[in-house]
Amino acid sequence: MSPRPDPVPAVTLLPVARALRPREKLRARGPAALADAELLALVLGSGSAGRSALRIGRALARRSPAELAGWSSARWLLVPGVGPARAAALAAAFELGRRAAERTPGGDAIRGPEDVLAHVRDLPRARKEHFVVLLLNARHEMQARETVSIGSLNASIVHPREVFQPAILHSAASVVLVHNHPSGDPEPSEEDLSITKRLVQVGELVGIGVLDHVIVAARGVVSLRSRQLL
């Protein structure tokens, strides 16, 4: 009887599978190494019947992070597999990201609309109109970014109190006003010009100058100062 060949050692795929899981991948490589779907899966925490968290994350990742950031809790609830707890976690995660972006000091001086655009790259393709104020020091360096209002698809209500209150609290020397046009056309409307004129007048009263009002959209950027409309 010929001797039996040595048995082939069993190969387990468990370590490989675990290495591909978002949580283990994050620990090994850091969050920057994860795809959008994997990051969303980690925020979800767990899936639902018949749907893993990663499967839900992949479905959501078909949309851009900028679009998802604008979703309300009610909109998240329309996603299969996302209940109230997960909807709240997702809305909170995107809100934290937005606040982190707004409160990160720029450091570089703002000399023109190109410098302004570097601090509001999330706005040109936003689906709702956002009115943002960049708070500057005496050297025109950005100290903070504050969102004053988020309006409908074609209008945003702005009150001087909401514009200049954060500027006063931050002891800003001047401000740059920024808002987006969801229509894609950056051309200023009569309402834009009227609001700008009013805010410039208030700025003169409180001693905080309005350096520019920049309108951003998918099809371009318009600086009211560059057009001598300020």
Q: What is the pLDDT of residues 101-122, one digit of tens each?
A: 655 555 578 889 999 998 898 8
Hey, is 28 helix, strand or coil?
Answer: helix
Return the SS3 of 90: helix
DSSP class of residue 138? Answer: T
Q: Is 176 helix (H, G, I), strand (E, B) or coil?
A: strand
pLDDT of residue 12 exceeding 50: no
Whether the predicted pLDDT of 98 surpasses 80: no
Q: Is residue 172 classed exposed, middle or buried when 0-12, 13-18 and 19+ CB atoms within 10 A define those classes?
A: buried
Position 205 pLDDT exceeds 90: yes
Residue 173 CA to residue 109 CA, distance in Å, equals 13
Average pLDDT, stretch 33-58? Answer: 84
**Is the predicted pLDDT of residue 216 greater than 80, yes or no?**
yes
Return d(Cα 46, Cα 227) in angstroms, integer: 53
Q: Is the confidence at residue 6, as pLDDT, over 70?
A: no
Pairing mode, strands 209-217 and 174-180: parallel
Instruction: For the chain, report the end-to-end CA distance as a whole number of angstroms.
Output: 100
**DSSP 8-state secondary structure symbol assigned to residue 141:** B
Give the three-class secondary structure for 227. coil
Fold of 113-223: Cytidine Deaminase; domain 2 (3.40.140)
Are residues 110 and 155 in contact, defined by beta-carbon separation less than 8 angstroms?
no
Question: How many CB atoms are located within 10 Å of the residue 160 CB?
Answer: 16
CA 223 – CA 229 distance, rounded (Å): 9
Which stretches of 48-189 are DSSP H helices? Answer: 53-60, 65-69, 73-76, 84-102, 113-117, 160-169
pTM: 0.58
Residue 161 pairs in a beta bridge with: none
Using an 8 Å Cβ cutoff, are 176 and 136 in contact? yes
- Considering only CA atoms, which of 146, 132, 157 is closest in space to residue 216? 132
Residue 34 is predicted with a pLDDT of 82
Contact by Cβ (8 Å): 86, 180: no
Q: How far is 50 from 36, CA to CA, in rounded Å? A: 21
